[in-house]
Every structure is written in structure tokens, then in C-alpha cells.
């Protein structure tokens, strides 16, 4: 018996989506224990189709030991009816011995007359690249925070001209004992209205910030002032933090009098 055109169309659409995403599909017949996966499932782990033969035990053996409990707990929660969907991120062992990060989504697709699950189906998406980027970003942020906290130069993070954060050296630079007296202020609040050359601080800073926003670092001489209005001559470098989702600009202030 031929399937109605609408069903055929829906099946074709689903197959097209799977092909475009290179999604690995899986189907577990809970009664028989048979696990059926598609070619993309094997591809992302470096295997030819049906190599190795897929069983629940084979699949569990491929899971990273540190992730096994999380995966099985998520599956049990869904099978017991305590979650609407099965969703978990974990690592599977590639044929070459490396670990592939997987995002797995699934749900029970069929129950028997007693509401016991019969078929548990879902997809695997390779998210290794995403995880690698996240790891590198965390490492970069950790390095930045270390340098930020231990720098011998004053550093402030700017959102526009507003100071969002400052390092310990900035407190000394501005002769301030409490960071809360700096954070939230504009850098213009810690600068005279005019620079020594007669230029307007507002105009100069705005122009420099706009250029820094384009990704071009800006170096320039600047006069700041402490909380007590004592002038401090410095060299300023503005650089946009491309790795920060907030789009902060780092302002590094080198005390010119210390040279």
C-alpha cells in the first residue's frame, strides 16, 4: 500500500533535514534491545555503516567514563516519565581514539497498552567544535583575568565611556581605596574637562572609543585626575575585547610620570 503524498513529502523533508545537519539518528527497540542507527551516526565516529554492530552495550562502552552516569541518569529520567524529552551532552569515543562531543536529543515515540515505552528515538549532533571554542574561550578569559588582576598598569573595562570594572592597580592610579567609587563612573569623571593641549576631553575620548570599536587599537597621551582632582599624565591604549560578548573595551593606562 502506497503512503499518501503528504506523508511521503513529510518523510522526504525530514530526510533532507537529517542530511543537511548530518544528524546521527538512533532508534532503540526497548523490547528486543535492538538499536538502529543511520550512516551519519557511524560517520561522526569514523566507522563504516554497521561497524561495529550496534547494541546498548556497545553504545555504553563508547561513552566517556566521566559522562556515563549523566547520560544514563538522563535516559532513566525520561523513560520513567519524569522529563518531557531526553537531552544530554556527552563524549563518545571515535575510532581513532579521540573523544567526540555529542548533543543527544530524543523521546519515547511509542508505548504499549500499559503505557510502557516501546521505542526510544533521537538524534546525535556533533558539537566538538563548539566545545573546543568554549574551552579556548574559557582559557583566554582565565588568562585575561590573571593578567588583569596582576598587571603593573592600571586597567579599566569600558562600555562606551562607562567603567564596568577595574584592576587593583587602577585603585592606586586614581588614589582610591574602594573600587565601587570608580566602577559605574565615566572615564570622563576621572579626567579634566580639557586636556593640556586645549582639546575637549569629551570629543577626544569619544573619537578614540569609536575607532577602538572598529577593532583598531588606539594609543594616545591623556591626562586623568585622581578622586582628589590631582592631575595624572598617562599613556592610554584602547582595545576592543573581541572574545567578550559584552563588547567591552580595555583601557590600559600607563603612568607617564613613572617612566
CA-based nearest residue to 124, from 95, 103, 97: 103
Give residues with Cβ within 8 angstroms of 113, minimum separation 6: none
Give residues with Cβ within 8 angstroms of 115, minimum separation 6: none
CA-based nearest residue to 100, from 156, 42, 157: 42
Stretches where the chain sits below pLDDT 50 are: 1-12
DSSP 97: S
Say yes or no: do domains 5-126 and 151-258 share a fold: yes
Question: Tell me, what's the pLDDT at 5?
Answer: 43
Hey, is 250 helix, strand or coil?
A: strand
Question: Tell me, what's the pLDDT at 245?
Answer: 65
Helix (H) or strand (E) holding 223: strand 218-225
Taking CA atoms, 222 is separated from 49, 155, 218, 234, in Å, by: 66, 14, 12, 5
β partners of residue 254 = 235
Question: Tell me, what's the pLDDT at 12?
Answer: 47
Give residues with Cβ within 8 angstroms of 123, minimum separation 6: 18, 23, 24, 25, 26, 104, 105, 106
- Residue 150, all three cell numbers: 596582576
CATH superfamily membership of 5-126: PAS domain (3.30.450.20)
- Residue 142, all three cell numbers: 582565565
Report pTM: 0.64
The domain locations on the chain are 5-126, 151-258
Range 197-208 burial, b when 16+ CB lie within 10 A, else e: eeeebeebbeeb
- In the block, residue with C-alpha cell 561495529: 52
If you classify domain 151-258 with CATH, what class do you get? Answer: alpha beta
Question: Tell me, what's the pLDDT at 68?
Answer: 97
- Rounded CA Rg of the chain: 29
Question: Tell me, what's the pLDDT at 4?
Answer: 43
In whole angstroms, give the CA distance from residue 168 to residue 179.
8
Question: Tell me, what's the pLDDT at 247?
Answer: 80
Contacts of the segment 164-167: beta carbons below 8 A, 24+ positions apart: 164/246, 164/248
Question: Tell me, what's the pLDDT at 9?
Answer: 45
In whole angstroms, give the CA distance from residue 192 to residue 203.
12
Question: Tell me, what's the pLDDT at 243?
Answer: 67
Amino acid at each position: 500500500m502506497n503512503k499518501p503524498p503528504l506523508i511521503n513529502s513529510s518523510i522526504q523533508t525530514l530526510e533532507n533535514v537529517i542530511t543537511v545537519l548530518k544528524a546521527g539518528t538512533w532508534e532503540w527497540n526497548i523490547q528486543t534491545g535492538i538499536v538502529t542507527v543511520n550512516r551519519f551516526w557511524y560517520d561522526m565516529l569514523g566507522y563504516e555503516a554497521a561497524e561495529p554492530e550496534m547494541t546498548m552495550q556497545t553504545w555504553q562502552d563508547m561513552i566517556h567514563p566521566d559522562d556515563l552516569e549523566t547520560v544514563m541518569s538522563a535516559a532513566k529520567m525520561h523513560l520513567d516519565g519524569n522529563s518531557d524529552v531526553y537531552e544530554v551532552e556527552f563524549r563518545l569515543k571515535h575510532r581513532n581514539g579521540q573523544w567526540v562531543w555529542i548533543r543527544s536529543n530524543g523521546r519515547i515515540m511509542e508505548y504499549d497498552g500499559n503505557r510502557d515505552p516501546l521505542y526510544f528515538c533521537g538524534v546525535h549532533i556533533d558539537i566538538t567544535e563548539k566545545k573546543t571554542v568554549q574551552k579556548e574561550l574559557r582559557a583566554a578569559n582565565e588568562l585575561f583575568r590573571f593578567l588583569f588582576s596582576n598587571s603593573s598598569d592600571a586597567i579599566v573595562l569600558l562600555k562606551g565611556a562607562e567603567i564596568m570594572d577595574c584592576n587593583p592597580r587602577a585603585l592606586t592610579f586614581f588614589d582610591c581605596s574602594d573600587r565601587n567609587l570608580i566602577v559605574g563612573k565615566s572615564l570622563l569623571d576621572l579626567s579634566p574637562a580639557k586636556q593640556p593641549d586645549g582639546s575637549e576631553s569629551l570629543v577626544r575620548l569619544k573619537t578614540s572609543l569609536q575607532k577602538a570599536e572598529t577593532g583598531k587599537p588606539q594609543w594616545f597621551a591623556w591626562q586623568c585626575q585622581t578622586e582628589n582632582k590631582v592631575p595624572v599624565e598617562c599613556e592610554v591604549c584602547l582595545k576592543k575585547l573581541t572574545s567578550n560578548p559584552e563588547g567591552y573595551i580595555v583601557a590600559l593606562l600607563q603612568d607617564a610620570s613613572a617612566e
